[in-house]
Amino acid sequence: MARVKFTFEDKEKKEVIADSVEAGYSILEVTEDADVHLNHNCGGVCACSTCHIYVVRGADHLEEISDKEEDFIDRAINPRLESRLACQCIILDENADIEVIIPDQRKIIGHEH
């Protein structure tokens, strides 16, 4: 089973590790199962940029980025080379070891504290 480690720009939040993740799940689905808050205003259909994350390890075990996803990443807060949309990061390998950084969700419009 795959492993996904979540760290946070908001240093008040402690890292979360999701073990036993099946291939075929998106990083967004993993956040929901692991009780990790990640905005997804469009419902996870690649129609916004609120589920923006940084993939710092294991990107080669995720579905490749599409042109549509790249367009929405350009609209995200502080995009970087390792930026992805969690709804589009489908885990391809049962043995994947992935690490992502969750941007500070307090900066996302519509976020309730």
**Segment 70-108, tens digit of pLDDT:** 999 999 999 999 999 999 999 999 999 999 999 999 878
pLDDT, tens digit (0-9, with 9 covering 90-100), for 18-45:
999 999 999 999 999 999 999 999 999 9
State the Cα–Cα distance between residues 47 and 99, nearest whole angstrom. Answer: 24
The answer to whether the CB of 90 falls within 8 A of the CB of 26 is yes
Instruction: Kindly indicate the confidence band of residue 110, based on its pLDDT and cuts at 50, 70 and 90.
Output: low
Reported pTM: 0.93
Q: How confident is the model at residue 113 (pLDDT cuts 50, 70, 90)?
A: very low
| Assigned superfamily of 2-105 | Beta-grasp domain (3.10.20.30)
Sign of CA dihedral 24, 28, 29, 31: positive
Q: Rounded mean pLDDT of 43-63? A: 97
Between residues 57 and 106, the one the model is more confident about: 57
pLDDT value at position 54? Answer: 98
Residue 103 carries which DSSP code? Answer: -
Instruction: Pick the closest to residue 21 from 5, 40, 41, 37 (CA basis).
Output: 5
The Cα–Cα gap between 23 and 25 comes to 6
Domain range annotation of the chain: 2-105
